Amino acid sequence: MKAIYKKILDLYKTKNLFYTITSLSPELGEKCVLDSEQLEELNINIKAEKLPAIINKPRKSYFIENINDTPLLVLAGGGHVAVAIAKLAQFLEFNTVVIDDRAEFVTKERFPHSKRYAQDVGDTLQHDFGNNAYYVVVTRGHKDDFRAVSMVLSKKHYRYVGMIGSRQKVAITMKKLADQGYTQSTLSQIHAPIGLPIGAITPEEIAVSILAQIIKVKSSFVGDQSQHNVFEALAQIDEDAAIATIIEKHGSSPRGIGSKMLVTKSQKVFGTIGGGAVEYAAQKKAAEIATKKKAELVEYDLGLTDDTKLGMICGGRVKVLFEPIN
**Quick check: 288 and 266 in contact, CB under 8 A?**
no
Nearest to 262 by CA among 237, 281, 292: 237
CA angle 270–272–277, rounded 5-degree value: 120
Q: How many angstroms separate the CA atoms of 267 and 246, rounded?
A: 19
Q: How confident is the model at residue 47 (pLDDT cuts 50, 70, 90)?
A: low
pLDDT value of position 135: 98
Chain segment 226-254, per-residue pLDDT in tens: 567 788 888 888 899 999 999 998 876 66
Query: Is the predicted pLDDT of residue 306 greater than 60, yes or no?
Result: no
Q: How many angstroms separate the CA atoms of 277 and 275, rounded?
A: 7
pTM for the predicted model, two decimal places? 0.69
Beta strands in 26-85, from DSSP E residues, in sequence order? 31-34, 53-57, 60-67, 72-76
Helix residue ranges, H only, 30-181: 36-41, 80-91, 121-124, 142-153, 167-179
- Residue 182 to residues 178, 189, 324, Cα–Cα distance (Å): 5, 11, 50
Chain segment 70-81, per-residue pLDDT in tens: 889 999 999 999
Q: How confident is the model at residue 222 (pLDDT cuts 50, 70, 90)?
A: low
Query: Is the predicted pLDDT of residue 307 greater than 50, yes or no?
Result: no
Neighbouring C-alpha atoms within 13 Å toward the C-beta of 17: 19
Parallel, antiparallel or unpaired: strands 269-271 and 260-264: antiparallel
**For the chain, which domains are there?**
3-67+223-324 (no CATH), 72-219 (3.40.50.720)
Give me the count of residues in the chain. 326
Chain segment 75-98, per-residue pLDDT in tens: 999 999 999 999 999 999 899 999
Query: Is the predicted pLDDT of residue 61 greater than 80, yes or no?
Result: yes
236 CB contacts (<8 Å, ≥6 apart)? none
Query: Is the predicted pLDDT of residue 197 greater than 90, yes or no?
Result: yes
Q: How many angstroms separate the CA atoms of 87 and 80, rounded?
A: 11
Q: How far is CA 38 from the centre of its chain?
A: 19
Report the mean per-residue pLDDT for the chain. Answer: 88
pLDDT value of position 174: 92
149 CB contacts (<8 Å, ≥6 apart)? 137, 161, 163, 173, 177, 190
Query: Is the predicted pLDDT of residue 221 greater than 80, yes or no?
Result: no
